[in-house]
Amino acid sequence: MSVASPLVLKSLREQVYHHLRRLMSGGEIQPGAFINQDELATRLGVSRTPLRDALLQLEAEGFVAILPRRGVRVQALTVEDVRHMYEVVGALEGAAVLSAFPSLGRGELATLRRLNRDMKKALLADDFDRYYDRNLAFHDVFLDRCGNEQLVRIVRRLKQRLYDWPRRRGFVKEWELASLEEHAAFTRLVAEGDATGAADHLRDVHWSFPVQEPFIRRYYFADPPRGDEG
């Protein structure tokens, strides 16, 4: 009797890749766990080839490690991982702002302000998913206008690694409140026409590991944050 597969027939490698991403972001496969390839291939109703190809892609992106004679392990974030990702994202988003700045007009400013208000409402409602989505959308206002697809691809992959592996559905509210203030300061710099100041603010404050480290340690490396914390 054939095994029913949760995948649709498209690119099997792509489908397996996204299925594994969903399992990891949902916490069904935890960081540090080993993936049983035979069991997973049977469960998905696919051969080992698309599964292997998907795992190779995940390894290239830093999400898993393929260990000879040991199997495939989901990579847990370390403090140094987060430090390095913040440095890269800060530098790239700063560059994106400088490139996108001529395209940031009244409409974009209105969007930045609206998204920051929406983030505050989501925070007050303990709606983590809405807060997270609006936060990404805020940064996408300038990322989508920077004209550098390679830069945007790298930034988004690193954010997925930071936020979705797995996604922690809770707040460190002091951090989110500080982030709202940082977004507001960034928006003011854009409104004032200060491209360099806006780029520096993203790199040296918003994505600064030394500035954000106390919150990072609480969020990633302490007990799971609670929705009513703060």
Q: Residue 213 pLDDT > 70, yes or no? A: yes
Confidence (pLDDT) at 226: 47
How does DSSP classify residue 70?
A: T
For residue 224, report the phi and psi dihedrals to the nearest 5 degrees. -55, 135
pLDDT band for position 69 (cuts 50, 70, 90): confident
Please tell me the distance from the alpha carbon of residue 89 to that of residue 210, in angstroms, as a whole number.
14
- Residue 224, classified by CB atoms within 10 Å of its CB into exposed (0-12), middle (13-18) or buried (19+), is exposed
Confidence (pLDDT) at 7: 52
Q: Residue 229 pLDDT > 50, yes or no? A: no
Domains and CATH numbers, the chain: 12-74 (1.10.10.10), 79-221 (1.20.120.530)
Mean pLDDT of 121-130: 92
Pair of tokens at residue 128: 């983590």
Q: What is the pTM of this model?
A: 0.83
| CA 18 to chain CA mean position, Å | 15
Task: Name residues whose C-beta falls within 8 Å of residue 227's C-beta, 6 or more positions apart in sequence.
Answer: 126, 128, 169, 170, 171
7-11, 44-48, 162-166, 214-218: segment of lowest average pLDDT:
7-11
